[in-house]
Amino acid sequence: MYLDRIVGVVGAGSFGSAIANLLGENQRVLLYERNPESAQRIKSERKIKGTPLHKNVAIADSLQQVAENCFLLFPVVPSAFFKDMIIDFSPYLRADHIMIHATKGLHCEFDIEKANAKSIRLKDIQSMSDLILQETGIVRVGCMAGPNLAGEIMEGQPAATVIASRFNEVIYEGTLALKSNRFQVYGNRDILGIELSGVLKNYVAIASGALHGLGYGENARALLITRGMAEMIYIGKALGADKKAFLGIAGIGDLIATCTSPKSRNFSVGYRIAKGEKLEDILRDLGEVAEGVRTLKIGKLIVDHLGASAPLLQILNKILFEGLELERALHFLMRYPVTIDAEYLDL
Amino acid sequence: MSGRLYKPQDYPLPYVVSDIKQWPIYRLTHDREAFLADVKAIVLQRVKAKFPSSRALHEELARVLYQERIRLTEKPWKADPPDERMFWNSIKSKLVRLDQLNSESIITEETILNEIIDRYLNEIVGNFDSRAFGFARVFLPQFWGRIFSAAPGPWLKAFSRNAKTIHEKIPITGDVEKIRHLATKGTLVVVPTHFSNMDSIMVGWILSELGLPAFTYGAGLNLFSIGLLSFFMNRLGAYKLDRRKKNSVYLETLKNYSSVAIRRGAHSIFFPGGTRSRSGSLEKKLKLGLLGTAVEAQKNHYRDFPDETAPKIFVVPVIINYHFVLEAQALISDYLKETGKERFYRENDEYSTSFKLIRFIFKFLNASSSLSVSFGEVMDVVGNKVDDEGNSYNHLGNKINVRNYFMTNGEMKDDQQREEEYTKILGERIVDNYYRYNVVLTSHLVCFATFELLKKQFKDADLFSLLRTPEEDISLPYEQLANCINQLKDRLKEMYDRGKILISPELRWNVDKIIEHGMKNINLYHAVSPITKRTDGNISSEDLKLLYYYHNRLDGYGLEKFV
Cα–Cα separations (whole angstroms), residue B260 to B49, B126, B256, B318, B463: 19, 13, 6, 23, 45
Most confident by average pLDDT, A179-193, B15-29, B103-117, B132-146: A179-193
A136 and chain B: CB distance < 8 Å anywhere? Answer: yes
Query: Taking 90 as the threshold, does the pLDDT of residue B233 lie above it?
Result: no
pLDDT of residue B143: 58
Chain pair A-B, CB pairs under 8 angstroms: 48
Q: How far apart are CA B18 and CA B341, in angstroms?
A: 52
Query: Taking 90 as the threshold, does the pLDDT of residue B208 lie above it?
Result: no
Give bridge partners of residue B313 from the DSSP assignment.
B187
Residues of A in contact with B417 (CB under 8 A): 167-169
* Residue B1: CB atoms within 10 Å: 11
- Interchain CB distance below 8 Å, B418 and A90: no
pLDDT of residue B139: 62
Q: What is the pTM of this model?
A: 0.89
Residue pLDDT, tens place only, B298-350: 999 999 998 778 999 999 999 998 887 878 888 888 888 777 454 334 445 45
pLDDT of residue B161: 45
Residue A96, min C-alpha distance to chain B (Å): 5
Q: How far apart are CA B254 and CA B557, in angstroms?
A: 35
What share of chain B in percent tops pLDDT 70? 83
A135 and chain B: CB distance < 8 Å anywhere? Answer: yes
Q: How far apart are CA B200 and CA B197, in angstroms?
A: 7
Query: Taking 60 as the threshold, does the pLDDT of residue B146 lie above it?
Result: no
- In the sheet with B238-241, reading across from the earlier edge strand, the strands are B172-173, B371-375, B312-322, B186-192, B268-269, B216-220, B238-241
Nearest CA in chain B to A69: B409
A5 and chain B: CB distance < 8 Å anywhere? Answer: yes
Nearest CA in chain A to B409: A71
Cα–Cα separations (whole angstroms), residue A12 to A33, A40, A60: 5, 12, 11
**Stretch among A125-139, B92-106, B500-514 having the lowest mean pLDDT:** B92-106
- Interchain CB distance below 8 Å, B409 and A72: yes
Rounded to an integer, the average pLDDT of B43-48 is: 94
Please, which pLDDT band fits residue B159 given cuts at 50, 70 and 90?
Answer: very low
Please, which pLDDT band fits residue B364 given cuts at 50, 70 and 90?
Answer: low
Helix, strand or coil, per DSSP, at residue A31: strand
Cα–Cα separations (whole angstroms), residue B441 to B94, B536, B545: 58, 27, 19
What share of chain A in percent tops pLDDT 90? 77
Residue A322, min C-alpha distance to chain B (Å): 38
Q: Which run of H or of E encompasses B315?
A: strand B312-322
What share of chain A in percent tops pLDDT 70? 99
Beta strands in B358-432 (DSSP E): 371-375, 385-386, 392-393, 399-400, 407-408, 411-412
The whole-chain average pLDDT of chain A stands at 93
The DSSP call for residue B6 is: P
Residue A123 among the catalytic residues: no
- Interchain CB distance below 8 Å, B408 and A139: no
Query: Taking 50 as the threshold, does the pLDDT of residue B69 lie above it?
Result: yes
- Interchain CB distance below 8 Å, B417 and A139: no
Most confident by average pLDDT, A317-331, B189-203, B216-230: A317-331
Q: How far apart are CA B526 and CA B550, in angstroms?
A: 12
- Interchain CB distance below 8 Å, B394 and A137: yes
Residue pLDDT, tens place only, B377-421: 999 999 999 999 999 999 999 999 999 999 999 999 889 999 999
Pick the residue with more confidence: A22 or B103? Answer: A22
- By Cβ distance, the residue of B395, B407, B421 closest to A166 is B421
In this structure, the dihedral spanned by the alpha carbons of residues B167, B170, B174 and B178, taken in order and rounded to 10 degrees, is -40
- Please answer whether residues A168 and B417 qualify as being in contact, where contact means their C-beta atoms are separated by less than 8 angstroms: yes
Interface test with A, best of B400, B409, B421 (most A CBs within 10 A): B409
- Please answer whether residues B265 and B311 qualify as being in contact, where contact means their C-beta atoms are separated by less than 8 angstroms: yes
Query: Taking 80 as the threshold, does the pLDDT of residue B531 lie above it?
Result: yes
Rounded to an integer, the average pLDDT of A255-268 is: 90
pLDDT of residue A124: 92
Query: Taking 80 as the threshold, does the pLDDT of residue B365 lie above it?
Result: no
* Residue B23: CB atoms within 10 Å: 24
Q: How far apart are CA B328 and CA B198, in angstroms?
A: 12
Residue pLDDT, tens place only, B431-454: 999 999 999 999 999 999 999 999
Please, which pLDDT band fits residue B163 given cuts at 50, 70 and 90?
Answer: very low
Pick the residue with more confidence: B527 or B501? Answer: B501
Q: How far apart are CA B91 and CA B113, in angstroms?
A: 9
pLDDT of residue B353: 58
Rounded to an integer, the average pLDDT of A83-98 is: 97
Backbone angles phi, psi at A75, to 5 degrees: -80, 130
The whole-chain average pLDDT of chain B stands at 84
Residue pLDDT, tens place only, A17-57: 999 999 999 999 999 999 999 999 999 999 988 889 999 99
